[in-house]
Amino acid sequence: MQDKLIRFGVSMETALLGRFDRLISKRGYTNRSEAIRDFVRRELVEEGTHNGDTAAFGVLSFVYDHHVRELEARITGFQHVHYRSIVSASHVHTDHKNCLQVIILNDKAAKIEEIATKILSFKGVKHGRLSLTLSGKEI
């Protein structure tokens, strides 16, 4: 069942509104209301993931040098230790020297961040990023 829509006004400087309209047009929005709803949802998800006890999903993507001694074994071993939190992992060879790994996690936000921080700190991991989101029911 959908919630009842409530109409409210927003005051904004002309220049800021112009920039907003160009942004939402570029992103494919057909009206301001839907764009504002999406922006509010995004901020609520972001805020929700800052509560470490909140159940969350995470996508950790990182690039590493597979020639670094024992790195692949460390990454795999670490994932086995945290198998309850890891839903899926995918490995791609990007070139002769580097690999991209994507790990999907499901746990409390703090646990996901802890796992991601540790993996990204391994010697030979070049760079990476964690994206956290909520399941949807919390929004």
Name which of 13-22, 101-110, 130-139 the model is least confident about: 130-139
**Could you write out the DSSP letters of every residue in 64-75?**
EETTSTTHHHHH
CB count within 10 Å of CB 82 equals 17
Computed over every residue of the chain, the mean pLDDT equals 91
Looking at residue 59, its amino acid is V
Domain extents for the chain?
A: 14-49, 55-133
pLDDT band with cut points at 50, 70 and 90 for residue 137: low
Please give the model's pTM, rounded to 2 decimal places: 0.78
The CATH H-level (homologous superfamily) assignment of domain 55-133 is: ACT-like. Chain A, domain 2 (3.30.70.1150)
More confident residue, 41 or 83: 83
pLDDT band with cut points at 50, 70 and 90 for residue 138: low
- Look at residue 48 and tell me whether its pLDDT is greater than 80: no
